[in-house]
A and B are shown apart, each in its own frame.
Chain A
Amino acid sequence: MEQDTAVVTLAAADAASIAAFVAEHYQGEPPWLTQARHQAGTLAATAALPQRAKSALRARRWEDAPVLAEGVPAVPAAPRDGIRITRGGYRSTPLPAAWTAAGVLCWNLADAVRRAPELVRQYLGQALAAEPVGDGAVGTEGAKFAALNAALWQHGVFLYVPPRVQLTEPVTVEYCIEDSAVTLYPRTLLIADRESQVRVIERYVSQEPEGAARRLLSAVVEVFAGEGARVEYNAIQDLGPSVDAVVHRAARVARDGQMSWNLGEFGAGVLAGRQFTALEGPGAEGRTTVVFFGNRAQQQEYTAITEHAAAHSQSDLFARGVMNGRARSAVTAVTHIRRGARGSHARQREETLMLSPTARAEAVPSLLIDEHDVFAAHAASAGPVEESTLHYLMSRGLPEIEAVRLVVHGFLAPVIDRLPQDAVRDLVWERVERKIRE
């Protein structure tokens, strides 16, 4: 495998160098896409770096992050099941015949630009664009990285589910940063048409060679849930410590649609996750479950923004995490109920268990309410393992590590139990176990 050479860092990536890179590496695309890439490239070069005063990300020097990497990476090995995406390309096992017959489209997004140009052009970028910029309590720190992805995305999943088609089996996707790669810009476009149903399980992994150079993942996931559609999105992020991961997820949910985000965040040196859910039709529903576990010097920042723009919309966010070592977490949840979203109902819960005296946690659970006929509530807590609990367990003969393990299990069980997929729950428990032992 060829190594990435001639890496350009974020500090050095000006508008001209990004434009030259796009011109050289993204040939043969339709003019509208080329133009969109160039526009995004200019924005990426000029947008400010993350600098929110208390941000967990502030300590990180983003200037050194790799952005443009030359080299011709190898095509990924074929996955046993589902889809595998690397810097080198997109490999997929064949779709079930029944799906194809029903009109389900599942391609590499790079191919979908050719094969379903109207659909891609209609939807690409439109979920991220719905997010109100500079609105209320959330800044726009991530905009630089979302723009980088828009300029430089290579491979990703394009999935279209036609009206009333209900996929019983999940679509599984693995994103892998191979040891030869320093950047990965995957992009997902998921369109669930009227009353359809779809589940996606994503896994983010990296190979970590000895003395790995610093690497960057900048991913964008856009979801469109049509009227009465149900979309269940699951992701387990298990990247190695050399990777800085910036992930933008955005969904627009139409009348009576349901969007469910289910996330396990375990890896990466620095994680900046940002999630936006627009409940645009009456009765639309957004449900978010986040399990996070940081140790060593990990920094995890997660921002979840939910916008209630229609009557009787509902949202429910539940995040629980464990911080060990010198890890830092910052969870910001913003629920915005717009005027006219009568009868809306919103809940947030953010809770952190602190296992080490040097761990840090920050929680900002915000409610921005412009409508009076609503119910909105949030709860947040952070605290250590109760010493009396530990003493009790240890007095029953358990070694300390086992006692801590039991407490962590008890703390995380309610949130992990909310994850809808058995397979995802198992994977999450497995990672929790590993994190406790680390």
Chain B
Amino acid sequence: MATEPIVHTEYQYGFNDGDVGVLKFQRGLTRQTVEDISRIKGEPKWMLDFRLHALDVFLRKPMPTWGADLSQLNFDDIIYYVKPSERQGRTWDEVPQAIKDTFDRLGIPEAEQKFLAGVSAQYESEVVYHSIRKDLEEKGIIFCDTDTAVREYPELVREYFGTVIPPEDNKFAALNSAVWSGGSFVYLPKGVRCDIPLQAYFRINSQNMGQFERTLIIADEGSFGHYVEGCTAPVYSTESLHSAVVEILVKEGARMRYTTVQNWAPNVYNLVTKRAVAYKNATMEWIDGNFGSKATMKYPAVYLVGEGARGMVLSIAVASRGQHQDTGAKMIHAAPHTSSTIVSKSISQRGGKATYRGLVHFAPEAEGAHSHVKCDTLILDAESASDTIPTAEVDTNAAKMEHEATVTKVSEEQLFYLMSRGLSEEEATRLIVLGFIEPFTRELPMEFAVEMNRLIKFEMEGAIG
């Protein structure tokens, strides 16, 4: 049997290019911190009030008693706001060279040139570079960082901000609401199709720096869009915290897809609240890949509030040494004839732990609703572990729920078959692992599928002796 890891998740982008932050806050969180953030950003009073209220909620809420071990997380040891450059880079030439070098290694400029509608790269806490193709602008699509949106589209932001995930939702949503900075704002007007993915990259760079981006996406009636986000972060010895909030509204007949592949450094706490509301005949799809981090707690949710709304979560999680991927999905069926699908693929290796934690809820109104959940886990070696904890709550007799899950090792039969065909054990195992996650990779946009393939291949080199 294999004693070597099959999927290497050694952090590949573990370089850092010095501290380029121009303005850096002291560690810790007080009312003054929140007021300073808001003042520096020149925010309207309603946003300051929102932040201060959220701070109260954050201080009041207890830590979650379930999920990943957060006992090493010290809120007083985190810097809550870092501004890397005095103003936002408007053209590529204005972006500081150190930041450019990092992006070069991540392949962002090429990506922009080739496929992408716009690159909105968050470096530390501010979006430093952002562009959007002219034809999208002409369609009336808004794609900018959320700070800009607060200034330039105040009515839109104020109408929807915090409505899908109020600060009261959970402790980390409250924290994000108090100190958020950056993130993307997307507005798709009625009936507009955006055929090319909107893409943003996020990175954490400063040691002990929390990153609290806030993304708000509004897909108006009959629109279609695909938002893509990827994360990598340099390795540091002390803990970092990433706590994002992503709110999405999918109006009647609209369709929205949100794709994330994250590869956090192994010292990052990744505690993210992602939720979408799907109205009548709307479709919301979360495609969510989780690599790296010390502990991830992330459960993308869809509230199906309109008749005929559809929700999907398709996710993979790879947990390696010292990592706990506590991920899953939530589907709340609150209207008739809503349907949902959850497909979760987990791999744990080298002492990592992958947990699927999910909820499917049918309200009494969910007549004719249907949900299908499938969770599969591969445990690759004797040190690793996996939990599968799905919850189903059925408050109506007119809905149907099906759930299935398996936890297995790599099938010896399949290995023997492939090896009898002349493949080495390493090649055979890689093929089986790629087959296992294929339902996920096939849903990625081409740009990401390429990146993902590279990542998996890279990580599996020399896996078996």
Q: In whole angstroms, how far apart are the Cα atoms of A225 and B394 in the complex? A: 37
- Residue contact B400 to A377, C-beta cutoff 8 Å: no
What is the distance, in angstroms, from B450's C-beta to the closest C-beta of chain A?
30
Say whether chain A's binding surface is mostly helix, strand, loop, or mixed.
strand
Q: Does B399 reach chain A (CB closer than 8 Å)?
A: yes
Contact status B408-A381, CB under 8 Å: no
Give Cα distance in the complex from A363 to B401, angstroms: 10
CB of A212 closer than 8 Å to a CB of B = no
A375–B404 alpha-carbon span in the complex (Å): 14
Interface set, chain A 334-390, CB cutoff 8 A to B: 339, 352, 354-385
Chain A residue nearest to B367 in the complex (CB): A357
Q: A372-B379, A372-B382, A372-B409 are in contact. Are A379 and B389 (CB under 8 A)?
A: no
Instruction: State whether the Cβ of A80 lies closer than 8 Å to any Cβ in chain B.
Output: no
Q: How far is B404's CA from A378's CA once the two chains are assembled, in angstroms?
A: 6
Which listed residue (B389, B390, B391, B407) contacts A377, Cβ 8 A?
B407
- Among A357, A359, A380, A385, the residue within 8 A (CB) of B390 is A380
For residue A383, which residues in chain B have a CB less than 8 angstroms away from its CB? 397, 399-401
Chain B 379-402 interface 0/1 with A at a Cβ cutoff of 8 Å (1 = within): 111101111111111111111111
Q: Is B377 an interface residue (CB 8 A)?
A: yes
Interface centre among B386, B393, B407 (most CB of A within 10 A): B407
Known: A360-B395, A371-B382, A381-B401. A365 touches B406 (CB 8 A): no
State the Cβ distance, A416 to closest chain B Cβ, in Å: 22
CB-CB nearest in chain B for A323: B397
With A362-B392, A367-B387 as contacts: A372 and B397 at CB distance below 8 Å: no
Q: Determine whether A54 belongs to the interface, using a CB cutoff of 8 Å to chain B.
A: yes
Q: How far is the CA of A54 from the CA of B389 in the complex (A)?
A: 15
Closest to A349 in B: B404
Interface contact B394-A54, CB-CB below 8 Å: no
**What residues on B are CB-neighbors of A352 within 8 Å?**
394
Kindly list chain A residues whose C-beta atoms are within 8 Å of the C-beta of B405.
365, 367, 377-379
Q: Does A136 contact B (CB under 8 A)?
A: yes
Judging by beta carbons under 8 Å apart, are B394 and A360 in contact? yes
The answer to whether B403 has its CB under 8 Å from any CB of chain A is: yes
A406 on the B face (CB < 8 A): no
Q: Is the CB of B400 within 8 A of A381?
A: yes
One digit per residue, 1 when the CB lies within 8 angstroms of any chain A CB and 0 when it does not, for chain B 404-427 equals: 111111000000000000000000
A137 in the interface (beta carbon within 8 A): yes
Identity of the chain B residue whose Cβ is nearest the Cβ of A354 in the assembled complex: B397
Query: Which among A355, A370, A371, A382 has the highest number of chain B CB atoms within 10 Å?
Result: A382
Total number of residue pairs linking A and B with CB closer than 8 Å: 121
Q: State whether A136 and B387 are in contact (beta carbons under 8 Å apart), knowing that A352-B394, A360-B394, A375-B408 are contacts in the complex.
A: yes
Instruction: Check A364 against B391 for contact (C-beta < 8 Å).
Output: yes
Please state if B391 and A381 are interface contacts (CB–CB under 8 Å): no
**Count of residues in A whose CB is under 8 Å from the partner chain:** 38
Q: B364 at interface (Cβ–Cβ under 8 A)?
A: yes
Contact of A369 among B381, B386, B396, B397 (CB under 8 A): B386
Tell me whether B392 and A366 are in contact (CB under 8 A): no
The minimal Cβ–Cβ distance linking A151 to chain B, given in whole angstroms, is 29
Given A137-B387, A367-B387, verify A357-B396 contact (CB < 8 Å): yes
B397 partner residues in chain A, CB cutoff 8 A? 323, 354-357, 359, 383-385
Cα–Cα distance between A372 and B353 once the two chains are bound (Å): 11
Shortest CB-to-CB span from B319 to chain A, Å, is: 12
Q: Contacts A369-B377, A378-B388 known; A363 to B403 CB distance under 8 Å?
A: yes
- CB-nearest residue of chain A to B373: A380
Chain B positions within 8 Å of A373 at CB level: 382, 409
**Residues on the B chain within 8 Å of A54, using CB:** 391, 393
A356 to B364 Cα, complex, angstroms:
11
Chain B 123-157 interface mask (CB, 8 Å, partner A; 1/0): 00000000000000000000000000000000000
Q: Known: A352-B394, A354-B394, A354-B396. Is A381-B388 also a contact (CB below 8 A)?
A: no
Interface hits, B342-384 → A, CB 8 Å:
364, 377, 379-382, 384
Pairs across A and B, CB under 8 Å, 27 listed:
A54-B391, A54-B393, A352-B394, A354-B396, A361-B392, A362-B391, A362-B394, A363-B401, A365-B388, A366-B388, A366-B389, A367-B388, A367-B405, A368-B386, A369-B407, A371-B385, A372-B379, A374-B379, A376-B406, A376-B407, A377-B406, A377-B407, A379-B402, A382-B399, A383-B399, A383-B401, A384-B400
Extra inter-chain contacts (11) besides given A378-B403, A383-B397, CB under 8 Å: A363-B391, A365-B405, A367-B405, A372-B379, A375-B408, A377-B404, A377-B405, A380-B390, A381-B403, A382-B392, A382-B400
